[in-house]
A = this chain, B = another copy of it.
């Protein structure tokens, strides 16, 4: 279950020596056709890594023949030289496949601000080109890992076609996009407009609602490649639903593997005047360090949740707010209700529900707690 599950794709993952550990660090995914339809969604951070600038340009033509990915370095904030490195990498892949470099997307992940070791990377491309196969998806998923503890892959079956995917990301999960590189493949036959609309909608409902630590990456990239090899043309709505399921699965795996987290928290806002209000309130709670510390401490501190709600511009009256933690309504009408000792926070999964009593819209934001291990992982090592 990965990017090589659908027909029409080959992939590989190799160790090129970019990571000092000797682990796999270069992944190649090739669309062998007969179609090469593609769509991409990128970080909304205005400081963008060279591969994001490059790939955004490539995706304008909605045709991608191959994606080259590396871990061990983000190639972000590296100036014109860093962009030249990305360009050179794409050209090297293009030469190997006898295609145009303008059809090769590039993704990088790792430390910001340092140049990539280009010779190592290019030799990795050569090696990856030799090793690529219809069974190479698992190796590719492994090669894009950074602080991930496990590779993250998915497979979803549509009506006569498959969607496969791989993702990486464990820190910097963020608004706009969870931090990550993510490649989805499908053997469905897709119009470029369908691919684009489906990917945007799927990301909006999944990765965009994952907010582990509020920090937005310079490198986030989600790509969808369609080979058409199944010969099946799915309905737009049905395909969007399946792709959303695939994205949701990877998003859940990113959340589970977030750096140093001990809790996975679903914040559902109901009774909102609009979906935007629900998202704003959920995100405000998800980003509140005092709430996140309380969850780490297994303290059902609904006062901190209310204080977070109070910082938003959403429609609500403070004396009508209800809050449940793990289905115990410990706050009703903006004041204490059920006994907080009835809330069991010992498990890994926590559900917070906030009822704004202002309308009929709802949204769920996923986040993690703020733990000692989070501080340790993000202070002891550069990333």
Contacts and interface: CB of A to CB of B under 8 A. Distances in A.
A253 to B, nearest CB: 21
A83 to B, nearest CB: 10
Contacts of A111: 303
Contacts of A172: 290, 307
Nearest to A302: B113
Contact of A379 (B299, B308, B380, B382): B299
Contacts of A381: 297
A76 B309 CA distance: 14
B77 A336 contact: yes
A214 B213 CA distance: 13
Given A172-B307, A289-B370, A371-B375, 19 more contacts: A44-B311, A45-B310, A47-B334, A48-B318, A77-B334, A77-B335, A79-B333, A111-B303, A112-B303, A112-B304, A113-B303, A113-B331, A113-B335, A171-B290, A172-B290, A216-B307, A290-B378, A294-B382, A370-B375
Interface in A251-301: 287-290, 293-294, 296-297, 299, 301
A310 B46 contact: yes
A306 interface: yes
Interface in A27-48: 44-48
Contacts of A11: none
B77 A331 contact: yes
Given A293-B379, A294-B379, A306 B371 contact: no
Interface string A343-363: 000000000000000000000
Given A293-B378, A296-B375, A47 B306 contact: yes
Contact of A45 (B113, B287, B311, B379): B311
Nearest to A314: B46
Contacts of A333: 79
A323 to B, nearest CB: 10
A327 interface: no
A34 to B, nearest CB: 39
Question: For A81, A213, A299, A307, which residue has the most chain B Cβ atoms within 10 angstroms?
Answer: A307
Given A378-B289, A379-B293, A218 B310 contact: yes
Interface of A: 44-48, 74, 76-79, 81-82, 111-114, 171-172, 213-218, 287-290, 293-294, 296-297, 299, 301-304, 306-312, 316, 318-319, 321, 331, 333-336, 370-372, 374-376, 378-382
A184 to B, nearest CB: 25
Contacts of A296: 375, 379
Contacts of A370: 289, 375, 379
A370 to B, nearest CB: 6
Contacts of A293: 374-375, 378-379
Nearest to A319: B79
A303 B76 contact: yes
A303 B383 CA distance: 9
B171 A303 contact: no
A121 B87 CA distance: 71
Contacts of A289: 213-215, 289, 370, 374, 378
A259 B171 CA distance: 24
Contacts of A213: 289-290
B46 A112 contact: no
B113 A336 contact: yes
Contacts of A81: 335
Contacts of A76: 303, 306-307
A140 to B, nearest CB: 26
